């Protein structure tokens, strides 16, 4: 739960939600992407006769996928911090 800097009341938006709807959609997409990556990892975990080149391609795909996932999470955290800062600064003044 997010708190404003002026007190211990939860920070809310105009419509009364703690996190705007856009951020909830981004969180949902990130969860779906993480689930998809987990399903890919589980489906390829059983022993299948792969060539070394195909395993390298799968590792590259997984690294890119997790990179996109974690960078998106970092951007989301930065966006939430920026949103809280800009919403609170007029109240403090």
Asked whether 81 and 8 are in contact (CB, 8 A), the reply is no
Instruction: Give the residues across from 3 on adjacent strands.
Output: 10
pLDDT digits (tens, 9 = 90+) for 19-33: 666 777 888 888 889
Q: d(Cα 57, Cα 44) in Å, to the nearest integer?
A: 12
Domain boundaries, the chain: 21-92
pTM of the model: 0.42
Instruction: Look at 40 and 62; give whichever has higher pLDDT.
Output: 62
Mean pLDDT in the chain?
A: 77
Q: What is the distance of C-alpha 16 from the center of its chain?
A: 22
**Per-residue confidence at 14, pLDDT binned at 50, 70, 90?**
low
pLDDT digits (tens, 9 = 90+) for 56-69: 888 999 999 999 99
Q: What is the CA radius of gyration of the chain?
A: 20
């Amino acid at each position: 739960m997010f708190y404003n800097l002026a007190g211990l009341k939860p920070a809310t938006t105009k419509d009364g939600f703690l996190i705007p709807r856009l951020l909830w959609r981004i969180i949902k997409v990130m969860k779906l992407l993480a689930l998809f990556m987990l399903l890919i990892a589980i489906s390829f975990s059983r022993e299948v006769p792969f060539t070394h080149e195909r395993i390298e391609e799968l590792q590259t795909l997984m690294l890119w996928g997790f990179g996109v996932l974690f960078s998106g999470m970092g951007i989301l955290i930065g966006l939430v911090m920026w949103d809280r800062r800009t919403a609170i600064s007029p109240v403090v003044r």
